[in-house]
């Protein structure tokens, strides 16, 4: 089926895209074939098969869809996938520092409202039921005195290509055309084919038309009229014109939307970005190459209503702009940090200061005017750049005459510029700092990725120092390294874990946890120390006792035991017991053993005395 489709495709861009897919699949299949022929391991084969599945994902899902979609009856499949992408979308928006919406509407949650909406349009006479679907009667609406159809792009009425692009075969295929009173009519409610999501309605099982969801959802939140409706330039016709028509048919008014803001398209290096051509760049990919601020600056440097080309050139200008601004902020911060002399806060205002102050107020007025002129951010950023250029000249002039620039004026200008970047979302949060934040707890600034490279340098350096200190036996340095790990870094939420023979593990942990850990470690060490001291004391006592025993000569050993023996020989060895009875051979043998053991100990003692080690 894919080859047939490729053959029938005439659009050159599309054909090229399909050929790209075909080639990718072909070159993925070859290694799999070889792996099978050569009877490679199961693991190797499934690895190659995985590659084929990846490359052929689009071809296979289209084929599976055509084959099996009519068996799908569970609507959950149509809510699980959007749910996943909805979450991804929110993550992307947060990463770009886009503030969350106040109200989020999902079409699947609004089907009853949509059905009511369609019913009322029919009741008002602008819709009709045909073969299980409901269509909007464009002629009836346009010829009504109160209304006019296609206010945004009147010349597009009857443009079948635009309808086709907007609604696909849902409103344009032969059987659909036969259901409609006029080819310009569009579906409010469509009967569902097997495999398409469907809900119950007065007209049978079906689903909302493409435009009705916006009218019903926005209408239920905002009522019969709104000031501003946004959307891409490509949505003007048929989508927004149809949305307008059906909403005004529902509310019977002529002002559902007062202003439409249609944004320009994004192109990539000069090419139209298109999902169907598979040439698009995801926000995640873009954020891998550039920061959210750089992307925002790129957008701000263009008019929101014109085409924006995402290219190296575009991004290079944004990066240069950011650098230029950042350098200015750093210079001002440096000037503000320098110690002020007595007159520091109230320097004399010379002609330069008065001129710069005038420029500052002129630029502020120009920025305001540009924003009032259709949100012309491009001019705003140029005015801001020009203000900074003037500041730079002012600072350079002061430096060349060895004078201090006027701090309050520069500070005020920096605060103003910072405030503007905050308004534009190029600086997040609302800390009172000047300029672009260096680190912090903002959403787009990941502390981990910001500080980790530096922590690694520190930990490797410390590792090297410790090694040398161990080799050269410099305990003071080792102590210093331990103190860095145990006392200094935990205060900053950093944990270094030493593993002998392995690189130090660096972890960012919250400070309180680390301080608690430190307390626990101290407690354990304290206990260890006490145990060790007790053991040492015990050992000392044992040694003292042993020494005391060694000091007794074997001749004296038994003599003190008057309660056991009554007579001794010339060596002090007992011969008779307490009752005067001669000791038995067995008893003598036992005592002899004790005597000999003490003899040995005593000899050792004498030796120690000689050696001078007995004390
Ligand atoms: C009515 O709808 C069915 C299913 O969508 C279609 O097969 C049939 O051709 C339609 N009938 C007319 C008269 O258009
Ligand atoms: C931008 O430059 C990089 C490398 O310098 C290159 O790989 C990439 O294709 C360029 N992108 C565009 C859109 O020109
Ligand atoms: C700065 O300029 C504004 C606008 O011209 C003026 O109102 C203000 O008094 C000036 N400030 C000083 C200190 O001259
Ligand atoms: C600086 O800003 C403060 C607060 O907005 C203002 O009161 C003061 O006049 C400004 N000074 C200069 C020199 O711009
Ligand atoms: C006494 O010193 C000698 C020689 O230095 C040594 O061999 C012996 O082990 C020492 N004895 C004791 C009990 O310290
Ligand atoms: Zn819409």
Instruction: Give the C-alpha separation, 336 to 406, whole Å.
Output: 10
Q: Which residues contact 401 (CB under 8 A, 6 or more apart)?
A: none
CATH value at residue 187: 3.40.50.620
Using left for φ > 0, alpha for ψ between -120 and 50, and beta otherwise, residue 553 falls in: beta
Number of CB atoms found within 10 A of residue 137's CB = 24
CA–centroid distance, 434 to ligand 3, in Å, is 22
The predicted structure's pLDDT at residue 499: 73
Is 462 found in the same domain as 353?
no
Is 227 found in the same domain as 326?
no
The predicted structure's pLDDT at residue 381: 98
How far does CA 221 lie from the centroid of its chain?
A: 31
HSE-up of residue 127 (Cα within 13 Å, Cβ side):
31
Is 121 found in the same domain as 249?
yes
Instruction: Give the C-alpha separation, 279 to 276, whole Å.
Output: 8
Q: For residue 533, tell me if it sits in a domain.
A: no
Is 565 found in the same domain as 466?
no
CA–centroid distance, 484 to ligand 5, in Å, is 46
Token representation of residue 501: 């023979």
Print the domain residue range for 604. 551-611
Is 475 found in the same domain as 411?
no
CATH value at residue 399: 1.10.730.10
Instruction: Give the C-alpha separation, 437 to 296, whole Å.
Output: 15
| Count of the separate structural domains present in the chain | 5
The predicted structure's pLDDT at residue 159: 78
Q: For residue 241, tell me if it sits in a domain.
A: yes
Q: Vertex 261, ends 259 and 264: CA angle to 5°?
A: 160
Q: For residue 451, tell me if it sits in a domain.
A: yes
The residue out of 45, 71, 97 marking a domain boundary is 71
Instruction: Classify residue 496 as exposed, middle or buried by CB count within 10 Å of its CB (0-12, 13-18, 19+).
Output: buried
The predicted structure's pLDDT at residue 169: 55
Closest atom of ligand 4 to 412 CA is 1
CB atoms within 5 A of ion ligand 6 belong to: 214
Instruction: Give the C-alpha separation, 247 to 118, whole Å.
Output: 10
Q: Which residues contact 316 (CB under 8 A, 6 or more apart)?
A: none
CA–centroid distance, 211 to ligand 6, in Å, is 6
Is 117 found in the same domain as 259?
yes
Q: For residue 90, tell me if it sits in a domain.
A: no
Q: For residue 494, tell me if it sits in a domain.
A: yes
Is 441 found in the same domain as 424?
no
Helix 292-300 to helix 312-337 angle (10° resolution) is: 110
Is 389 found in the same domain as 475?
no
Task: Say if residues 435 and 331 touch (Cβ distance below 8 Å).
Answer: no
CA–centroid distance, 344 to ligand 3, in Å, is 20
Closest atom of ligand 4 to 411 CA is 1
What residue's CA is closest to ligand 1, atom 7?
175
Q: For residue 529, tell me if it sits in a domain.
A: no
Q: For residue 97, tell me if it sits in a domain.
A: no
What residue's CA is closest to ligand 5, atom 8?
607
Task: Say if residues 147 and 251 touch (Cβ distance below 8 Å).
Answer: no
The residue out of 411, 436, 461 marking a domain boundary is 436
Regions of the chain with pLDDT less than 50: 342, 439-444
The predicted structure's pLDDT at residue 345: 57
Is 423 found in the same domain as 449?
no
DSSP secondary structure string for all residues of 582-604: BPPHHHHHHHHHHHHHHHHHHHH
Q: For residue 340, tell me if it sits in a domain.
A: yes
The residue out of 477, 509, 541 marking a domain boundary is 509
Is 603 found in the same domain as 577?
yes
Is 201 found in the same domain as 165?
yes
> Residues near ligand 3 with C-beta < 6 Å?
354, 357-358, 361
Is 555 found in the same domain as 464?
no
Among candidate residues 276, 221, 226, the one with its CA nearest the CA of residue 58:
276
Number of CB atoms found within 10 A of residue 142's CB = 16
């Amino acid at each position: 089926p894919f080859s047939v489709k490729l053959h029938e495709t005439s659009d050159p861009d599309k054909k090229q895209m399909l050929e790209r897919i075909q080639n990718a699949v072909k070159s993925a299949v070859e290694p799999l074939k070889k792996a099978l022929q050569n009877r490679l391991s199961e693991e190797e084969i499934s690895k190659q098969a995985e590659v084929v599945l990846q490359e052929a994902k689009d071809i296979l899902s289209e084929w599976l869809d055509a084959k099996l979609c009519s068996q799908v009856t569970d609507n959950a499949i149509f809510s699980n996938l959007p749910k996943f992408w909805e979450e991804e979308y929110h993550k992307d928006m947060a990463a770009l520092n886009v503030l969350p919406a106040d109200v989020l509407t999902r079409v699947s949650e609004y089907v009853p409202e949509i059905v009511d909406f369609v019913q009322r349009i029919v009741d008002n006479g602008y819709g009709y039921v045909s073969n299980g679907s409901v269509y909007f009667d464009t002629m009836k609406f346009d010829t009504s005195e109160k209304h006019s159809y296609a206010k945004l792009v009147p010349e597009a009425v009857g443009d079948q290509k635009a309808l086709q692009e907007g609604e696909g075969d849902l409103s344009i295929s032969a059987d659909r055309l036969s259901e409609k009173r006029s080819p310009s009519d569009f579906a409010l409610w469509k009967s569902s084919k097997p495999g398409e999501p469907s809900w119950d309605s007065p007209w049978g099982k079906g689903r909302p038309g493409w435009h009705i969801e916006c009218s019903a959802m926005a209408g239920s939140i905002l009522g019969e009229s709104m000031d501003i409706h946004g959307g891409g330039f490509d949505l003007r016709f048929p989508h927004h014109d149809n949305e307008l028509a059906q909403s005004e048919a529902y509310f019977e008014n002529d002002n559902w939307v007062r202003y439409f803001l249609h944004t320009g398209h994004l192109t990539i290096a000069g090419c139209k970005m298109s999902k169907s051509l598979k040439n698009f760049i995801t926000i995640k990919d873009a954020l891998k190459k550039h920061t959210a601020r750089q992307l925002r600056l790129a957008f701000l440097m263009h008019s929101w209503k014109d085409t924006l080309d995402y290219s190296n050139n575009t991004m290079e200008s944004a990066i240069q702009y950011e650098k230029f601004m950042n350098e200015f902020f750093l210079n001002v911060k440096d000037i503000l940090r320098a110690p002020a002399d007595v007159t520091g806060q109230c320097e004399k205002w010379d002609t330069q200061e008065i001129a710069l102050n005038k420029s500052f107020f002129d630029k502020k007025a120009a920025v305001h005017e540009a924003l009032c002129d259709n949100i012309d951010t491009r001019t705003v950023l140029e005015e801001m750049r020009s203000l900074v250029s003037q500041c730079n000249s002012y600072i350079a002039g002061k430096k060349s005459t060895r004078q201090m620039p006027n701090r309050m004026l520069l500070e005020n200008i920096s605060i103003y510029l910072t405030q503007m970047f905050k308004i534009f979302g190029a600086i997040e949060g609302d800390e009172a700092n000047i300029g672009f934040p260096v680190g912090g707890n903002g959403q787009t600034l990941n502390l981990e990725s910001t500080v980790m490279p530096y922590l690694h340098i520190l930990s490797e350096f410390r590792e090297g120092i410790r090694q040398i200190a161990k080799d050269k036996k410099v305990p003071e340095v080792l102590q210093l390294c331990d103190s860095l790990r145990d006392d200094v870094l935990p205060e900053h939420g950093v944990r270094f874990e030493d593993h002998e023979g392995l690189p130090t593990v660096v972890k960012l942990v919250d400070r309180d946890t680390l301080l608690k850990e430190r307390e626990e470690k101290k407690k354990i060490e304290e206990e260890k120390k006490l145990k060790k001291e007790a053991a040492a004391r015990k050992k000392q006592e044992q040694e003292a006792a042993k020494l005391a025993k060694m000091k007794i000569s074997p001749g004296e050993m038994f003599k003190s035991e008057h309660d056991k023996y009554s007579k001794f020989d010339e060596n002090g060895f007992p011969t008779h017991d307490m009752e005067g009875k001669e000791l038995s051979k067995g008893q003598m043998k036992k005592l002899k053993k004790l005597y000999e053991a003490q003899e040995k100990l005593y000899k050792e003692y004498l030796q120690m005395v000689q050696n001078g080690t007995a004390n």
